[in-house]
Amino acid sequence: MKKKLLYITLLISIAAFVFLSGCTSILNPDSNSENDTANISIYNLSIFYPVINGQEKIVESGIYYAVSDASDIHVVRLIDNKKEIRILEETGLLVFTSAEIKDVYFVTDSNFTMTKESIEALTDNPTPADLNYTIKNPKKGPQIVLEQNFSGILVYTFVPSSDKSIIINDDSKAVKIVLPLGMTTGNRLIGTARPAPDLTETGENGEKILKWNNPVGQIGVKYYSEKSPFYMTIAAFALAGAIAAVYLWNRYQIKKLQKISRYIDPNENEGFGKKKM
């Protein structure tokens, strides 16, 4: 009996250790470089160079593309000599499930340096490196952990449980968010970007682009269809019309009852429901 109790205690201890450590298994099994090169084409490989104090800088920046036909977010990060790389996570009181991280690729070469020429060489000819990694979830947030330090471009797909919302909390030194075509943000009633971006642009295809050159803390963007404010205005007018109609109908009914009351008793004081003096 004591031995059985010892086994149960040991199993519970092991399970608790695994749960508290937040460690997951290696996500990249035997890979095929040709398939990886083809799959990475789903990403728009470009790097955001922020303008700080009037000068373009090369820092560990991130570009976050909201996919128009899904809630997926394509992430393109520039990484400088890191073994543990923090990735996006969901936050909030109503978040009960973990977001999914998929399609993780590392793009680098043996001669890579944090220069514009070296970065452009990677984006022009992206060849994923076959690196083993794990995803861990310590208290400070989920992170990709490599066997050795990495410099280059990290790309992955983040699948949050919430829709039409982006939260950037992965320690990027500069942030660029590209909203899907036909989507916007900035309406205080529907949703906005906090903090306000340093620059808002319109892309070549008409998509909305938000840039933060040197953000401090977490960035959150709630976006929606460009037609949503118009629809909300129509709904507000419809609601106001309905309220006005109910009010006028009630006034009509009250006057109707007052007329009947005066007809029954001509000495009734004016005003429905008022008593005689």
Stated pTM of the model = 0.73
Residue 138, burial from CB neighbour count under 10 angstroms (0-12, 13-18, 19+): middle
Average pLDDT in the 179-185 region? 92
Q: How far apart are CA 78 and CA 222, in angstroms?
A: 24
Per-residue model confidence (pLDDT) at position 42: 85
- Which has more pLDDT, 176 or 190? 176
Residue 170: alpha-carbon gap to chain centroid: 12
Q: Are residues 219 and 232 in the same domain?
A: no
Confidence at residue 151, expressed as pLDDT on a 0 to 100 scale:
97
Query: In this predicted structure, what is the pLDDT of residue 30?
Result: 40
Same domain, 82 and 121: yes
Q: For residues 103-107, give the mean pLDDT.
A: 95
Residue 23's pLDDT band, with cuts at 50, 70 and 90, is very low
pLDDT at 243 over 90: no
pLDDT bin (cut points 50, 70, 90) of residue 267 is low
Q: What is the percentage of the chain residues whose pLDDT exceeds 90?
A: 49
Q: Is residue 7 part of a domain?
A: no
Picking from 33-47, 127-141, 147-161, 210-224, which range would have the lowest pLDDT averaged per residue?
A: 33-47
Is the domain of 253 the same as that of 165?
no
Of 211, 163, 200, 205, nearest in space to 181 by CA: 205
Residue 128 forms part of a structural domain: yes
How would residue 253 be classed by pLDDT, with cut points 50, 70 and 90?
confident
> Is 79 within the bounds of a domain?
yes
| pLDDT for the residue 51 | 94
Q: What single letter denotes the amino acid at residue 247?
A: Y
Going by pLDDT thresholds of 50, 70 and 90, the confidence category of residue 235 is low
Range of the domain at 81: 21-223
Pairing state of beta strands 133-136 and 73-86?
unpaired
pLDDT bin (cut points 50, 70, 90) of residue 208 is very high
Candidate from 17-26, 51-60, 61-70, 160-169 with smallest mean pLDDT: 17-26
Residues 217-221, mean pLDDT to the nearest whole number: 93
Q: Are residues 106 and 152 in the same domain?
A: yes
Choice between 133 and 256, residue whose per-residue pLDDT is larger: 133
- Give the chain's domain count: 2
Same domain (yes/no): 140, 269:
no
Same domain, 272 and 249: yes
- The DSSP bridge pattern shows strands 208-212 and 174-178 to be antiparallel
